[in-house]
Structure 1
């Protein structure tokens, strides 16, 4: 931004702030006035200054003021019901009319506010942080759902795959980005810089998506280990000595991390995995197998909720594997119960292998009794598997896992 434009914006913003502070009403009421002015503003420079002023005022609010602000946006910047009903009546009276008027009337005015706010310097990042702030607020469930929906609707367009840049992250990546990997890793904690160096060694790969609006902030990243054979436990994978990548035949995706809480429900991972597979097929042609080593986050909770499942879990390895398969292939309200299974199987992967005692960490024990799973990505079957799941609810399962049969409950109870 040139000094002249920057100075003009600062001048306008300063005058706007003076006007805001001179008005009557609470801080929240004054901010809402600015939001209405921003939505109706026609001047580009004044709109930029107004947007910056809104972000600055909101950032200074405490949680009570933020809660009041969002409740007020629901009342003042939600859907204009009278305008929507009028547009529907007009369309019913003239079905040949352009239905865009109904669409426009059905859109909450809050979405237009977000669009205008996005024009501010660093507006996209500020909106993401604004959405993050919602997490600690005691909003009514229906109101929170509508506000999140407005954010997700716009973010899904702004963070479309066409705008995302895939980058390989290495030890030569700028330190501020590497620091964020340590901070954002939530699956298998990175134990400082030495641990990070190992995860970026020559037999490892790390890829992330970045967006032009926030070039130094990863949106999501995946960590990959090049190994011999399919890994069945996380501790040996993390601590193994370095090998020559030319000797590896398998790529194991062992950690996928969404980095921006404000972008929750905006999907990146389904693009990321498939694109990384394609990149590695060309850059590391000796790699023939692409699998994950994934947690089963809801398994223990699901087992503990039913006495019969508890009995099966305690009856031995074979019954427990069968229980894991049942959980990973079970649906509730039309979708797979387990979120990680939902992600990978929905991407077209195959449920390949259950690994018992694969994660001895406290987190691994608390979420799945230490069990982990391999999902297999095969380029030739990804589309078929995805379509079978979406169209018919058929889960792709390896022949070996298909052979497992649920042991009779009476026999399990005898053993326990």
Structure 2
């Protein structure tokens, strides 16, 4: 544990940017500060201008922020005329100089602006927060979506797996970090500090998170793990305050029961696949007797699908399981992938639909989203790659015979319907 945090401290030190003295006040309009930043060449002056621009951004109201996004979309966009000329020139003479000119013309100036803004102390965190506001604005003005493409392009590089650090979080972790876990938990709400302690302190519980050196104290994503005997079919016993901890040496199964993305501004940047794979490796090395790795996952779209398709809500556990199986195996989004977002995530990672349980989540959220049903997605290290390829080529849902047997013909069946 200590070595992990020490490594994180070292990396954050390497990435730290110290603010230059005499930074600009940021009183100028935000577009003017950005134009000056783009015209400058000195590193120190650039850091001052970047810090001033981001300071101005943080103080801006909604109207000024929207005007800034429009500035990025219009003035900082690709010049289509220059791009066309560069493409024609490269078509006629495929040399390095013309390719360089083409690549330069194809990159919107706002990408370089974002790189320069990132020079400021805390710039990465500011840009991640900026994207949250941008995504909201783009819902009203779809033309701003092209600006978001550039944020996603840069974030995909800046938050590449090679820069991420895996850390285990336990009860001895800094209090500020533990508070963030409470705030970020998105699957099973953490009710109190005692509830949190039950999830990270016992010897049969684990919590791992990815961190980035530019955000050393703020997790990007974290997963909570229960060490068990066998694959559980309900969340209640896992979260129970009265349960008896299991000696880790007696566990044969690792259950991933909650995965939470922490940074709304990094939506669309995938970390979960790498997180699960690395945690499986860590747990396998620590506890070599573990033979099964699986999830106990919610089925968040089940009730909405029932309502959208006009299917009456089932009243018995067998019927709940049957309709949940049909939903997971057959309900499709417009792109052909499974409609359920959690299913898409795990199936794309190479898991299989292993088992479906009724009355597994009795919380108000569990009842309202899935009538209390939950599902196990199993990660078999020997089959993960094949399962992923099967899913990636045709969006085929890999499932056990038991799950497939739950889906029986019915009069209202609409196989493969796009919702």
Same fold (TM over 0.5): yes
Q: 1:13 aligns with which of 24, 27, 31?
A: 24
The separation in 2 between residues aligned to 1:52 and 1:198, in whole angstroms, is 42
1:354 to 345, 356, 372: 356
**What does residue 417 of structure 2 align with?**
none
Does residue 258 in structure 1 map to residue 261 in structure 2? yes
CA contact (8 A) 1:167 1:208 kept: yes
> Would the alpha carbon gap of residues 340 and 6 (structure 1) be closer, same or farther in structure 2, given more than 3 Å must change?
closer
Matches of 1:288 and 1:322 in 2, distance apart?
28
Q: TM-score, normalised by structure 2?
A: 0.89
Task: State the Cα distance separating 1:141 from its structure 2 match.
Answer: 4.3
Cα–Cα, structure 1 residues 116 and 387, in superposed 2: closer, same or farther, change >3 Å? same
* 2:326–2:407 CA contact under 8 A, matched in 1: no
Q: Which has the higher contact order (CA 8 A, sep 6+)?
A: 2
Give 1:263-342 correspondences, 5 Å limit.
Answer: 263-307=266-310, 309-310=311-312, 313-314=313-314, 316-329=316-329, 330-332=331-333, 333-342=335-344
The alignment yields a C-alpha RMSD, in angstroms, of 2.0
Match of residue 182 from structure 1: 182
Assess, with a 3 A threshold, how the Cα gap between structure 1 residues 147 and 138 changes in structure 2: closer, same or farther: closer
CA distance in 2, matches of 1:105, 1:343: 36
CA displacement 1:206-255 (0-9 Å, x = unmatched) = 00001111111111000001112111111221003322222221111000
CA–CA distance in structure 2, aligned partners of residues 176 and 212 of structure 1? 17
CA distance in 2, matches of 1:95, 1:138: 38
Conserved 8 A contact 2:251-2:290: yes
Per-residue CA shift, 1:22-41, capped at 9, x if unaligned?
A: xxxxxxxx210111111221
Q: How many residues align?
A: 392
Q: Secondary structure at the match of 1:72?
A: helix
Structure of greater Rg: 1
Matches of 2:369 and 2:124, distance apart in 1: 35
Mapping of 1:219-230 within 5 angstroms? 219-230=220-231
Q: 1:402 aligns to what SS in structure 2? A: helix
**Aligned twin of 2:60:** 61
Contact 1:67 1:138 in 2 (8 A): no
Q: Secondary structure at the match of 2:178?
A: helix
Is residue 38–residue 47 contact of structure 1 (8 Å, CA) maintained in 2?
yes
Distance 1:306 1:79 in 2: 43
In 2, the alpha carbon distance for the partners of 1:315 and 1:100 equals 65
5+ residue gaps in structure 2? 1-12, 414-419
Contact 1:63-1:137 within 8 A present in 2 as well: no
Aligned residues of 2:352 and 2:387 also touching (Cα < 8 A): yes
**How far apart are residue 12 of structure 1 and its match?**
4.5
CA distance in 2, matches of 1:401, 1:190: 31
Q: CA deviation at 1:282?
A: 1.0
Distance 1:185 1:114 in 2: 30
Query: Paired residue for 1:26?
Result: none
Residue in structure 1 matched with residue 47 of structure 2 by the alignment: 48
How many angstroms does 1:378 deviate by? 0.7
Secondary structure of 1:222 counterpart: strand
